[in-house]
Structure 1
Amino acid sequence: MKFMNERWETVEEIAAAREGFETALPGWQRPAAFGLGTLDEHGKLEFARVNVGENPLPAVVLATVCGYRNETGSFRLSRKDLTRVIELLSPAEACTAYQHPNLWAWRQLLLNLEMDDEAIAVFIADWDSLGDDPYVDALRKAADR
């Protein structure tokens, strides 16, 4: 488990943290795409950020909290869950070799999240996976797939 005062300052430390999170998730498969967002007033999912084939550390940290392992789908996160995701990912910010757009976007999402609202994490395991989840469809559209 990662501690609040931990800092990953190098690319190697980021890689080691990612590997640690991945090892801790039985059946883990890196997603082809993932995103995190909230529903607007019309029920449309608005993503804070969409990732296609990139950013494996934020993907596995998000999955650690929401439950994704290897199947396409969506997951609801409470404010507490989203706070935990941000806490787990925050040590990466010490590494200036990378920008941290997911962390920054997710912090802003948390600030804008009303007390009883939820965030929705969406993962696409691979582009051939099918289903009828409207949030997965929204991620496919946002990823231009």
Structure 2
Amino acid sequence: AVHKRGGKPLTPTRKQMRWVGQVNYQDGEGWVELHWWPALLPHLTGIRKNFTSYQLHQASALRSVYSWRLLELLMRFEDTGWLEMSIEDFAQSMDATEKQQADFAAIRRKIIEPAIKELMNKDGWDVQWRPIKKGRKVTALRFEFKRADQMALEI
């Protein structure tokens, strides 16, 4: 719906919403209870239509939060087999620290390389990546990926 004031369309308002309204942590139990933010509830009914899903058991061996976040990014583009995004968007998606965001070498060393190694070794992905530069500065990243036909056996 387009909202108008005096016949002129209003500029869109920015809306922010929390996912979780309350979390109950069960100390020593290994589980939590989540209560969804009330305004989010109407959106949850169509969640399977709007979000990529993947088998949890596929990624159960992943230990790094960066591996999980990279997997989620890659799964959004599973149909194409490639993902290209600005370094700023990537850093934000990975929830990189300000110090890491200011230093591409830190992003590469602490986030990209360990996450890709874990996805390849523990979850059977073939991932190639490269930085995209303007001059000497890295401005974007390109990932090309697919599920490996067969996972390597550890000997």
TM-score by length of 1: 0.31
Of structures 1 and 2, the one with the larger relative CO (CA 8 A, separation 6+) is: 1
> Going by fraction, where is helix more abundant, 1 or 2?
1
User: When the two structures are superposed, what TM-score results if normalisation uses the length of structure 2?
Assistant: 0.30
Q: Greater Rg, structure 1 or structure 2? A: 2
